Amino acid sequence: MGNRMFKKILIANRGEIAVRIMRTCQEMGIATVAVCSDADRLALHTLEADEAVPIGPAEPSKSYLDIDRIVDAARQTGAEAVHPGYGFLAENADFAERCEREGIVFIGPPAQVIRNLGDKLTARRIMQAGGVPIIPGMIDAAENSTAWAAAAERIGFPLLVKASAGGGGKGMRIVERPGDLAEACRAASREAAAAFGNGTIYLEKFLPKSRHVEFQILADGQGRTLHLLERECSIQRRHQKIIEETPSPALSPELRAEMGQATVAAARAAGYVNAGTVEFILDPTGRFYFLEVNTRLQVEHPITEMITGLDLVRHQIEIAAGRPLSLIQDEVRGRGHAIECRIYAEDPEQHFMPSPGRIAYMREPAGPGVRNDCGVYAGCEVPVEYDPILSKLVVHAETRELAIRRMVRALTSYVVLGVRTPMDFLLDVLASAPFQAGETTTDFIAAHFAEWAPDRERMELAAMAYAADAMAPRARSAGPVAAANHPGPWHTLNHWRL
């Protein structure tokens, strides 16, 4: 490919990430193609693109997950490359392979790398061979309870049963006692088969009170592989991340360098190309273990962009176009502290039940060091069929303490009306002593916020606002605003004639 750059890219995704990718394409002078389901005809990503191709009904399997439709849309519009975003087809090796066959550049790693790293047991074997520490446990599948029991004895209890073919907590079980092992394995396998079409499970040591720290990879496929520092993603609820930050409060410069080296080793061992993320588990003693590789651009990539000043999507596109990385590891420096809060259309007072509907009004936060990657607008409909993420609110400041204050200011001024959002919950998490102290382990929410209820402090203010709203006249719906107290010339020159 050499120096030629794409003229047109199709973004095979929706919502905030599709909008974010299009922004970089616009800056690079690359034409953008959006794909939209029937529910997204007027979605922000559809409206922002140079062209939009309808790809079917709202249901993801009939639209955003339909490889044929996506490929057809690319051919129809002449898009030379496809950016898959995150979720949907981003880590689908079949899709990457189909693109390769059709002569469309898939902006991501090669299909075989996706396939290898998508299977956790295969990934563990690759990492072990590459000298990357892995969580003690099985590296080959076993099918019967005798083999599981033998492995369990080696590993020790408590242990984790995990699905090889997928994540998100599905097919995962903690086992405390040997007596529970066989049934846990069977149940996990059934769940994995239902969720991923593959019931293969394996056993790993369970590491409680650990942190979830991930490192960003950038590899150009021409010999240069770098890491772009870490992200701490321990604030999770039901295996879903809600707050992420960088740098991690738990990493000393030495540990960072060591984990960075392991990251590069992991990427090389896997033959990685383009952007990706290596996830590690960091136990309370400071030992780290490989968890998995996410072969895509991640939701929380903006915090890395804020501290490094790099545009990851731009690098992805350039690598995919065959350009070697001109960046070297020593040039990668983090500056200051960044935090991201995911803003979902969900109700924290109703156990975070999704809250679809029409957004009646929105006011996004702004100001120095504030970035809101938003996929919706006032007047748009948040559909029921997809993940309810509205935006990612990201702040950057000189220190962690200042970043927390900046996030508090930003959340306080972020207004969304029409769907419920968890700003008040997030404010309470950020204000909490454990968060302020950086005690962000993976059981944070369960340990400190299991039974959250909003505080009533501003209830009276809300009541006054209710009354004021009823009493304040609404503006006239159409026509110019009536002149204030001083009439203009058109009112005073009554009988003027030529």
Partner 1 sequence: MDWKLRNKEETIVLGVEPAGDSGFIATFGDREAHVVFERLSEHRLRLIVDGRQTSAFVVETAEGKAVMVEGRTFFLADDRAPQMRSRSGTKAGPRTVTPPMPAVVTQILVAAGQTVEQGQALVVVSAMKMDTTLTAPYDGVVTRINVAEGEKVAPKQVLVDIEPGAAGASEDGADGQAS
478 is an interface residue for partner 1 by CB under 8 A: no
In the set 296, 342, 400, 420, the catalytic residue is 296
Applying CB under 8 A, among 473, 479, 487, 488 the residue interacting with partner 1 is 473
Question: For residues 270 and 407, which CB has a smaller minimum distance to partner 1 in the complex?
Answer: 407
Cα–Cα distance measured from residue 395 to residue 176, given in angstroms and rounded to the nearest whole number: 40
Interface residues for partner 1 in 341-370 (CB under 8 A)?
345-346, 350-351, 353-357, 360-361, 363
Cα–Cα distance measured from residue 403 to residue 381, given in angstroms and rounded to the nearest whole number: 32
Contacting range for partner 1; rule: CB under 8 A; set: 101-109, 112-120, 206-214, 456-464: 456-464
Shortest Å distance, C-beta 259 to partner 1: 32
466 is an interface residue for partner 1 by CB under 8 A: yes
Contacting range for partner 1; rule: CB under 8 A; set: 130-138, 214-222, 290-298, 416-424: 416-424
Interface residues for partner 1 in 257-286 (CB under 8 A)?
none
> In sequence order, what DSSP letters do the residues of 245-265 get, joined into one string?
EES-TT--HHHHHHHHHHHHH
Shortest Å distance, C-beta 172 to partner 1: 17
451 is an interface residue for partner 1 by CB under 8 A: no
Closest CA to 110 of 311, 299, 279, 320: 320
The position carrying tokens 């021409």 is 222
Q: Is residue 3 exposed (0-12), middle (13-18) or buried (19+ Cβ within 10 Å)?
A: exposed
Shortest Å distance, C-beta 175 to partner 1: 25
Closest CA to 52 of 17, 76, 28, 86: 76
Q: Any catalytic annotation for residue 296?
A: yes
Q: What is the 3-state secondary structure (H, E, C) of 64-103?
A: CCCHHHHHHHHHHHCCCEEECCCCCCCCCHHHHHHHHHHC
454 is an interface residue for partner 1 by CB under 8 A: yes
418 is an interface residue for partner 1 by CB under 8 A: yes
Applying CB under 8 A, among 411, 429, 441, 445 the residue interacting with partner 1 is 411
Count of all residues that appear for the chain in the document: 498
- Tell me how crowded residue 101 is: count the other CB atoms within 10 A of its CB: 10
Residue 130 DSSP label: T
The position carrying tokens 């026509």 is 479
Name beta bridge partners: 357: 382
450 is an interface residue for partner 1 by CB under 8 A: no
CB 15 within 8 A of CB 386: yes
CB 33 within 8 A of CB 62: no
Q: Is residue 130 exposed (0-12), middle (13-18) or buried (19+ Cβ within 10 Å)?
A: middle
Residue 440 DSSP label: -
Residues 4-43, one symbol each (x = binds partner 1 by CB under 8 A, - = not), give: ----------------------------------------
Applying CB under 8 A, among 387, 402, 432, 452 the residue interacting with partner 1 is 387
464 is an interface residue for partner 1 by CB under 8 A: yes
Applying CB under 8 A, among 461, 478, 484, 493 the residue interacting with partner 1 is 461
Q: Give the footprint of partner 1 on this chain (CB under 8 A).
A: 345-346, 350-351, 353-357, 360-361, 363, 384-388, 411-418, 420-421, 423-424, 427, 454-455, 457-469, 471-475
Q: Which residues are marked as active site? A: 296
